[in-house]
Amino acid sequence: MLCLKARAKINWSLDITGRREDGYHLMDMLMQSVELHDTLWLEEAEDFTLLSGADNVVSQAGDGQESAAPVPFDENNLVYKAAKALWQYAGKTCGAKVTLRKGIPSGAGMGGGSADAAAALIGLNRLWGMNLTMEELLKIGLKLGADVPFMLTGGLARVSGIGEIIRPIADPPKIWLTLWQPCDGLSTGEIFSGFDGTPAGEVHHPETDAAEDALIRRDMALLGRKMGNVLEKVSVDRRPEIARAIEKLRAADGCKAAMMTGSGSVVYGVFAEKEQAEAALERIAGEKGFMAVTSTAREGVSFL
């Protein structure tokens, strides 16, 4: 049996620089893996099955309610799609029993489905003895979703194009984060469509070069001034709770910055110390939604 961690990600910055003729958005992003993760167990089997793991968590709210839609465990799941993509690439169908335990909330902008796809590609490649290179897996992964290539490489990186151009940034700092999903999940497609309808003058682009420099120099104050997410306003218009959550995290002692990740709906507060992040979590413990303390990570997928 193989066991893998599929880590979530955050965006330190998210900018849209244009759009290709085929409709895909051109991105410029600073992305980093975090320790919050899903877990996949892979076993040899005659047929392919995808099961929900015991103690499966989709998105547990602070008040005991779920704040995101349940994850499908059928052919719509990206783990299943990753397996099919490997079959098509290799020209053969293989069996496996895959058990997936969710720890990453859905509709969160943290790449939970993409992380699962990346872990499935890496794990099934080994289980089935396909010996595909990372370059081949990246090519397959891009067809599954724009975030999958980064999830395969993980760590800290500048990501551009439609997600296929990845420039790793060495020696990423460890930073503590308080995560909060204060509302229902959001549809990535809906948010990008909303952005397309936003007048250019109302879009506030992040200073991604400066944010990258601040991360490398571990200047959290500068990072807080230069980071940004062009999708945040679109998501806030649909879920005003996001803006309130950002302000409450910013007000926490020791918070260097707070922002929405991806297309939402998770927001995060940035802290230098674990104790500060935990204190911020205690401060919002009575609120609704998924909450957690985590830290940045140096890799996206790893074997246990």
Q: Give 247-282 pLDDT, tens digit per residue.
A: 999 999 999 999 999 999 999 999 999 999 999 999
Of 111, 140, 169, the last residue of a domain is: 169
Full residue range of the structural domain in which residue 123 is found: 2-169
pTM of the model: 0.93
Classify residue 267: in a domain, yes or no. yes
Predicted confidence at residue 66, as pLDDT, reads 36
Classify residue 304: in a domain, yes or no. no
Q: State whether 273 and 185 are in the same domain.
A: yes
Q: State whether 103 and 165 are in the same domain.
A: yes
Q: State whether 39 and 151 are in the same domain.
A: yes
Q: In angstroms, how far apart are the furthest CA atoms of the chain?
A: 57
Q: State whether 9 and 138 are in the same domain.
A: yes
Q: State whether 155 and 207 are in the same domain.
A: no
Give CA separation, 303 vs 151, 234, 291, in Å: 14, 37, 26
List, by residue number, the catalytic residues.
9, 147
Which residues, other chains included, contact 142 with Cβ-Cβ below 8 Å and sequence gap of 6+? 148, 149, 162, 163, 164
Classify residue 300: in a domain, yes or no. no
> How many structural domains is the chain composed of?
2
Q: Which helix (H) or strand (E) holds 55?
A: none
Q: Which residues of the chain have pLDDT under 50?
A: 56-68
Q: State whether 52 and 37 are in the same domain.
A: yes
Q: State whether 35 and 132 are in the same domain.
A: yes
Predicted confidence at residue 173, as pLDDT, reads 85
Predicted confidence at residue 68, as pLDDT, reads 45
Alpha helix (H) residue ranges in the chain: 78-90, 112-127, 134-144, 148-153, 188-196, 208-216, 220-226, 232-238, 241-250, 274-283
